[in-house]
Amino acid sequence: EEPQTKKFLLKISGGNCEEFEPERMRFRREDSSLEILNTSREDGQLYEYSVSKGQLEEVWQVRLEVFEPVADPTIRILHRELSNGSCSLALRCTSERGDEVSYSWDGRDNGTRGICSGSGSFLNLSYSLRSAAFGCVCTARNPVSSRDAAFDSSQCGSER
């Protein structure tokens, strides 16, 4: 069986602290926290933290996941239909960058929550052109960031 190898970032023994990649990390003794600086996708892996106490060794394993933040989303009109004073739209919200992005829709104010509510990248709207103007907000989010884009109901007759 092949031996397993470990790469150390930090080793503390007998009160001495040895940092193997000081330019890549920051260790704080006061709370024993370790920060990896300038995180890249290659840093997403399994890490191990161990403490030896005499004959016993306590070991914790932590999986670090690295996510690219979401970019500002854009809202596109996929389908538009104007008839009998009403507007029907199919909207799509997308973000050019980001890992594990999810989308949700909501109203810009309390009065439009129902018409603008939705989950996922797509939203279908149907409303009277005589109704008061309202705005829908798309939120693109992932575990590390959240960005918004707004759509105004007055855009029914215009390209965006």
Percent of the chain at pLDDT > 90 equals 37
The pLDDT of 97-102, averaged and rounded, is 95
The overall pTM is greater than 0.85:
no
Domain 74-156, CATH = 2.60.40.10
Mean pLDDT of 75-102: 93
Instruction: Render pLDDT for 57-85 as a digit per residue (tens, 0 to 9).
Output: 888 888 889 999 999 999 999 999 988 88
| CA–CA dist 136, 124 (Å, integer) | 11
Residues 6+ apart with CB under 8 A from 80: 87, 88, 89, 90, 156
**Comma-separated ranges of CATH 2.60.40.10 domains in the chain:** 74-156
Work out the average pLDDT over 18-26: 85
In this prediction, residue 25 has a pLDDT band, given cuts at 50, 70 and 90, of: confident
Secondary structure class of 134 (helix, strand, coil): coil
The residue among 32 and 92 whose pLDDT is bigger is 92
> Smallest Cα–Cα separation from 145: which of 93, 116, 102?
102
